[in-house]
Structure 1
Amino acid sequence: MEYDAWSDLRKVFDAAAEKTGSAIAYSRLRLERAKCLNRLNGLYEELGRASYFALVRSREPDTASLVEQITRKRRELEELCAGLGEGSTVTCPFCAGQNRSDSTYCADCGAPLT
C-alpha cells in the first residue's frame, strides 16, 4: 500500500479550515454581544438622563419607551451569551449590571451577587 501525503495534507487543511470557521463564528458572536452591551449601557444612560431632567423640571419622566427598549436589549444579550456558551446572566440588585451567572460580585459596581 502506497502512502498518500496529499490525502493527509488535505485532512490537515480541512481540519484547520473547520477550526478557523468556528473561531470566526465565535468572534462574531462576541462582537455582537459587545455591541449589544454597549447599546444597553447607552439606554441606561438615556433612562438616567430622562429621569434626572424630569425630576429637575418637576414632572413625570417619559421612560416607558426606554424601559421597553432596555428589556428587549437585555433579552438579546441573554441570547447572545447563551450562544457563546456563557449561560444565563444575573442582574446586579444595586446597579442593574449584567453579570455571568457564576459571578460572585458585580463586574460593574463590585456589589455581592447573593
Structure 2
Amino acid sequence: MAPELIGGGLVDFAVDIWAFGCSVLEMLTGKTVWGEHGDLVHDDWVDLIGHSDLTPQISTRLSAEAQDFLMRCLVKEPGSRWSIGELVDHLFLCSDVEFSHNGFVYD
C-alpha cells in the first residue's frame, strides 16, 4: 500500500507506480516487500508505511539499473515518483540492454 493511502493524501496514478515498484521488487528478489520487519499488526504497518521515512529495502545484489528503477518507483512523496511515461524510457526496461536472470548482475 502506498504511503499516501495510509496518510489520507491525494490518490492518483502515483499509487499505482508505488504498487508496481513493490511488485517488481518482489519478483526480482523472491522476497516479500517489508519482510525484514517480520510479522506486524495493523498499527505497525500504518506507522511503518505511512508515518516513517523508511522505504522498501532494495537489494544491492540487483543490477544498478534495477536498483535505480525501483528507487524511482518507491519514493515516499507521490509527486516526486516518476510517471509511467518516464519509467517506460528507463534503461532497466530498454530491450537493447542485456540483463541476467532476475535483474541480478553476474560476472
Higher relative contact order (CA closer than 8 Å, sequence separation 6+): 2
Q: Which has the higher strand share?
A: 1
Query: TM-score w.r.t. structure 1 length?
Result: 0.25
Larger radius of gyration: 1
Query: TM-score w.r.t. structure 2 length?
Result: 0.27
